Structures are given as structure tokens and as C-alpha cells.
């Protein structure tokens, strides 16, 4: 079978057939060489690289897989970079956390061992913790970096390695590329220091959780509304993940007393036995929680992903059932609530701002404008919101921000999307709405009446493996070189190419520079204001299409009809793009 394998790939795999690789790894690689050239190719055709979410891949042997060697080598590269960037600090430090995934605790331990072997002190959690708690720990202890072992909401066969810098945010340029360069200099396990120094590890337990919970409690804007709504019921599920203990604890700390769990999903399990995918963006992931909500007549349903940075919610639809809200809708409700309460509580000084990603609803911009609050667009990836907060630190106050992919943040003591904070503040939004006689759906409908009915839709097309990478690249080239001239009988009037950093006005012929880092994203703006965005995922083998259209809503009674009308419009645009 060796004749079917690319010689370069076979050579790469052959280096894994002798020590320092262990016997089990050697046997697995040899089996792939002898029996499965396709899987061997997928496992060795490249090295895992940092995308928008860091290092992420399928677990297994090989350079393109998550395993103890790729984790150790990545850690050695990161350790070298930390030493290079902070030569004046005699004892640099990092914080390390992990989620519920298979092998996560082992990968976290290896990361800690390699870091201490390089003379870097480690703050390590005693068990699984949400990603945002790691971000908070980096800032709290003044660490130079942080790592969380997680693959977020990916399927069970995946794991990952998110790297954070000293501001508590994920790596961005130039640090991300520089770390990749350092990792590439590590040619094998022989280049990794494994002489661990256990005395450099400080274990973090529940006492640290209390510090975080106290900070989250301080974000509350309507404690009196929560107190009045004693009958407010919510259902929460961690979907087998890292928020299982800390999210209910925090909700109780701010005053919510009737919190119902989904018993089968409170079991920490990296195989995610009750769901096809532990992704709160997928309706099926919330089905058990919604069933529980119907049993107890809950006001709100919340589900977080395995590493606790995303949350999906469902609200009462007024007909005895529950409606799943998408990320744009939840973000709009949250931002509206925050700005309304900041104004009501006389907290606005004219120096505040919110942030969203370029593929997130423009409704957030309209809401911010109403309250005289600045809004900023950043590239997809919450690390860019973190960078924005950092740039304006001490100059402007960050109120909150969000992205369409179910990630939100309130306050600035965490520098990543935070599902625990989001659960608390979305629950508070719902309790406040109930306190003024509205459901969450009615509050959303009122936003659409005031600002316009914004409807968004995400379509993800999966293209797996080496062939998939080529297909996605070809699709982006096709749309870039041969953009549509018209969609749904609407002319394309503006093209934004974030890779070329240029905005083209097709009506005037003028061009403007996009003042954001380069990214492989295309946006088509139609004559009626509709926005279509196309980008390859940085963390999954997918190409993503984002659709945003806008209509009018004269009354709540017209909601369903207009919702269907805008849905048909999106369907026509999808058809015109020949996806």
C-alpha cells in the first residue's frame, strides 16, 4: 500500500516510527501505513495551525492531529515565545484550564509539565472550568499567557488548544503567527523539555471560583427586578460540559432561585451521549432542556457549549411552546437591555462603546445609536473584540458585545465571550422584561417595530479533509473573481473584500480602504440593504454564508407573516448564489 502514499507524507509519518514516540503511537502509525493510506494522509499532510480559535483538530496520531506530542510541541513553542517576549521577568507564569472532552485533562497536565520544565510557573485548575474563567485567571494573576484545552462546540472526536496572551484575550497578530513560527522550529519531541518542576504548579480550587462569581454579580443592573420575580423559572443545561457547577452557582448568587437542570446532561462526559453535537447553535442540542421547560413552565431555557463560552436560549412563544432565538436576536436583546439600564441608572457619560463582528446583525448598531453609544465592527473571532477593549482601556468604557455565533460579553474583566456572564445577564434581561409585563419574544418584537425587522440566517457547508480545503479555497476564488451582479432582483452595489482590504462601490466606481486586519471574507451589499457575507471557518472544515435582510414590522401581530416573508427572501438569495 506504500505506493499509494505521497512520499513526503510517508517520510513525515516514518519519523514517528521510533523513540521518543511511545510504543502505542508507533504501532498506530505503522498500522495506518500498512492499512489506511487515506487516514495516514489526513493525519500527516500538514501541521495543525492556529486559526480564529487556536489549535484544533481530530484526536489521533500524526502532525495534523491532537495528541500528546503535538500538544507538547505546541507548548514548547509557546514557552519559547513567552521567554523571548518577557526576558525581563525572571519567573513568567501561565494559567491552564481544560473542558470535559476526552483527553483534555491529560493534555492540560502535559501542558503544565512542559511549561514548568521551561521555568514557567503554572496556575492550574483542579478540574474542568469554562474558558472565560481561564481568561479571568490570566488577568487576575498577571500571567504572561494562558491555555485552555478544548475544541469548543466541535464533535466529540475533536480537541483543541486555545492560547491566550497577557491581556486575557486569545492570540492575535503578530503573536499568533509568531507562536506558529516558534512551534514550527520544534522538529519533534526531542526538542521538548519534559523535566517538569511540580513545585512551580499552583492548584486553583473553588476559592478562586468565588472571586469570579463576585465579579459577575457586580454586573447586575436590576437586582430589584430579580427580587420581585420570585416565580421566575429557568432551565439550564451545560450539555455535559464545564459550566455544570459554576453557572448555576452564579445564577443563584445574583438572586435566581428556581433553576432547573437536565439531569442526564449534568453528567460530565466528553462523548456527549445525549446529543448528536454539543453545539447550542443546533436546535437538537436544546431539545431535552425544552422538554424540561414545558414540564416546569419555565420562562427561559439556556444551554452552553462544552467549554462554556457560548450559550443558546429558548423563550416562550405565547402558544405553549418555546422559540429558539439565534445569536443575533439574543445579542440584540442583551445590548438593548444593557444600554437601556445604563441610561436609566444614569451611568452613560458619552464615553462608552459596544462591539460586534462584521457578520453580526446591524440591529446592534441601530440600538447603540439610539442611546448615543459608539459601536465598532471587528473581524469574526471574539479575540478582536478583546483587542478593541485593550486598545481603549483607560479611554473608553466597554459595556458589552456579541457575535452571531452565540458568544457575548458584558464588562471587561474577562476578555473572551463568556457563557456564564451571558446566562446571568440574559436571565436578568428576561426577568426585567417580565417585571415590566413583557415576554422576551414581545421585547424582541418591539425592537423590530422600532428599528426594523432584521432577519439573519447562517448556512454552513462542510468540506472535510485535504480535498475540502482545496474546494473551499476554489469557492472563495470563484466568488472573489466572479462576484454576482444581482441577487433576488437586487443589484449588488457594494463589495467588501477583507483579504484585499478594499470596499468597492459599484455605482460610483470609488474604492475605500478597510481599516481592519486582512481576512478571507467577502461581503456583498445589495441595493435594498441586504448583506451577504462569505468566509471559510477558522476552526472547522466549513465555508460559511451569512445572510442579513431587513423588513418592517408595524405590530406584534404581523410578526409571523413578516418573518416568513423575510425567510423566503433569504431562500431566494441562497438559490441565486447556487450554493
> Which stretches in the chain have pLDDT values below 50?
1
Q: How far apart are CA 425 and CA 435, in angstroms?
A: 15
Residue 174, preceding bond cis, omega within 30 degrees? yes
CB atoms within 10 A of CB 264: 12
Q: How far apart are CA 476 and CA 373, in angstroms?
A: 35
Q: How far apart are CA 515 and CA 236, in angstroms?
A: 40
Place of cell 457578520: 359
Active site residue 152: yes
Place of cell 439574543: 330
Catalytic residue among 135, 152, 222, 439: 152
Q: How far apart are CA 302 and CA 133, in angstroms?
A: 19
Distance set, CA 72 to CA 23, 129, 502 (Å): 17, 21, 40
376 beta partners? 355
Length of the chain as a residue count: 579
CB atoms within 10 A of CB 466: 15
Q: How far apart are CA 23 and CA 4, in angstroms?
A: 25
Q: How far apart are CA 76 and CA 185, in angstroms?
A: 10
CATH numbers and ranges of domains, the chain:
46-204 (3.40.120.10), 212-222+231-451 (3.40.120.10), 453-577 (3.30.310)
Q: How far apart are CA 384 and CA 348, in angstroms?
A: 24
Structural element, H or E, at residue 541: none
The pLDDT, as a whole number, for residue 180 is 82
C-alpha cell at position 89 = 521577568
Query: Which is it for strands 352-357 and 397-403: parallel, antiparallel or unpaired?
Result: parallel
C-alpha cell at position 205 = 480550587
Contact call for residues 573 and 487 (beta carbons, < 8 A): yes
Residue 435 buriedness (CB in 10 A; 0-12 / 13-18 / 19+): middle
The pLDDT, as a whole number, for residue 173 is 87
Structural element, H or E, at residue 455: strand 453-462
Amino acid at each position: 500500500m506504500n505506493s499509494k502514499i505521497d512520499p513526503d507524507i510517508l517520510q513525515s509519518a516514518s519519523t514517528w516510527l521510533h523513540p521518543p514516540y511511545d510504543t502505542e503511537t508507533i504501532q498506530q502509525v505503522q498500522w495506518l501505513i500498512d492499512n489506511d493510506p487515506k487516514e495516514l494522509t489526513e493525519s500527516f499532510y500538514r501541521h495543525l495551525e492556529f486559526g480564529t480559535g487556536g489549535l484544533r483538530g481530530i484526536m489521533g496520531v500524526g502532525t495534523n492531529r491532537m495528541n500528546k506530542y503535538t500538544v507538547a510541541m505546541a507548548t514548547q513553542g509557546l514557552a519559547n515565545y513567552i521567554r523571548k517576549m518577557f526576558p525581563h521577568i525572571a519567573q513568567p507564569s501561565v494559567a491552564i484550564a481544560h473542558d470535559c472532552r476526552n483527553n483534555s485533562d491529560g493534555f492540560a497536565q502535559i501542558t503544565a509539565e512542559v511549561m514548568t520544565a521551561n521555568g514557567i510557573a503554572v496556575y492550574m485548575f483542579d478540574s474542568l472550568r469554562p474558558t472565560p474563567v481561564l481568561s479571568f485567571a490570566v488577568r487576575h494573576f498577571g500571567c504572561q499567557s494562558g491555555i485552555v484545552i478544548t475544541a469548543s462546540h466541535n464533535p466529540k472526536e475533536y480537541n483543541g488548544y486555545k492560547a491566550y496572551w497577557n491581556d486575557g484575550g486569545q492570540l492575535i497578530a503578530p503573536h499568533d503567527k509568531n507562536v506558529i513560527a516558534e512551534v514550527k522550529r520544534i522538529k519533534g519531541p526531542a526538542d521538548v523539555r519534559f523535566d517538569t518542576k511540580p513545585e512551580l504548579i499552583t492548584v486553583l480550587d473553588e476559592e478562586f471560583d468565588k472571586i469570579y462569581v463576585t465579579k459577575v454579580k457586580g454586573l447586575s443592573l436590576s437586582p430589584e427586578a430579580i427580587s420581585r420575580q420570585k416565580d421566575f423559572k429557568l432551565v439550564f443545561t451545560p450539555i455535559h460540559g464545564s459550566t455544570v457547577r459554576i453557572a448555576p452557582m452564579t445564577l443563584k448568587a445574583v438572586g435566581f432561585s428556581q433553576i432547573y437542570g437536565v439531569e442526564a446532561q449534568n453528567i460530565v462526559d466528553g462523548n456527549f451521549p445525549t446529543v448528536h453535537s454539543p453545539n447550542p447553535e443546533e436546535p437538537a442540542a436544546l431539545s431535552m432542556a425544552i422538554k424540561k421547560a414545558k414540564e416546569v413552565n419555565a420562562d427561559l431555557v439556556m444551554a452552553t457549549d462544552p467549554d462554556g463560552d457560548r450559550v443558546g436560549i429558548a423563550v416562550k412563544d405565547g402558544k405553549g411552546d418555546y422559540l429558539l432565538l439565534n445569536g443575533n436576536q439574543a445579542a440584540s436583546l442583551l445590548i438593548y437591555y444593557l444600554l437601556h439600564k445604563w441610561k436609566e441608572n444614569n451611568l452613560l457619560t458619552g464615553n462608552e462603546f459596544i462591539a460586534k463582528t462584521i457578520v453580526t446583525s446591524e440591529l446592534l448598531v441601530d440600538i447603540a445609536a439610539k442611546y448615543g453609544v459608539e459601536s465598532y465592527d471587528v473581524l469574526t473571532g471574539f479575540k478582536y473584540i478583546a483587542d478593541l477593549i485593550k486598545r481603549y482601556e483607560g479611554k473608553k468604557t466597554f459595556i458589552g458585545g456579541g457575535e452571531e455565533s452565540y458568544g457575548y460579553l458584558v464588562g471587561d474583566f474577562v476578555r473572551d465571550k463568556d457563557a456564564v456572564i451571558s446566562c446571568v445577564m440574559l436571565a436578568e434581561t428576561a426577568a426585567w422584561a417580565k417585571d415590566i409585563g413583557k415576554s422576551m419574544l414581545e421585547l424582541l418584537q418591539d425592537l423590530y417595530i422600532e428599528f426594523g425587522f432584521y432577519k439573519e440566517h447562517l448556512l454552513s457547508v462542510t468540506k472535510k479533509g485535504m480535498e475540502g480545503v482545496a474546494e473551499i479555497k476554489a469557492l472563495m476564488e470563484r466568488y472573489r473573481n466572479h462576484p454576482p451582479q444581482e441577487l433576488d432582483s437586487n443589484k449588488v452595489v457594494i463589495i467588501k473584500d477583507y483579504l484585499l482590504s478594499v470596499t468597492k462601490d459599484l455605482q460610483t466606481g470609488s474604492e475605500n480602504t478597510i481599516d481592519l486586519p486582512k481576512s478571507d471574507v467577502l461581503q456583498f451589499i445589495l441595493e435594498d440593504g441586504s448583506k451577504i457575507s462569505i468566509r471559510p471557518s477558522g476552526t472547522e472544515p466549513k465555508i460559511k454564508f451569512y445572510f442579513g435582510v431587513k423588513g418592517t414590522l408595524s405590530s406584534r401581530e404581523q410578526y409571523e407573516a413578516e418573518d416568513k416573508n423575510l425567510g423566503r427572501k433569504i431562500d431566494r438569495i441562497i438559490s441565486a448564489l447556487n450554493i
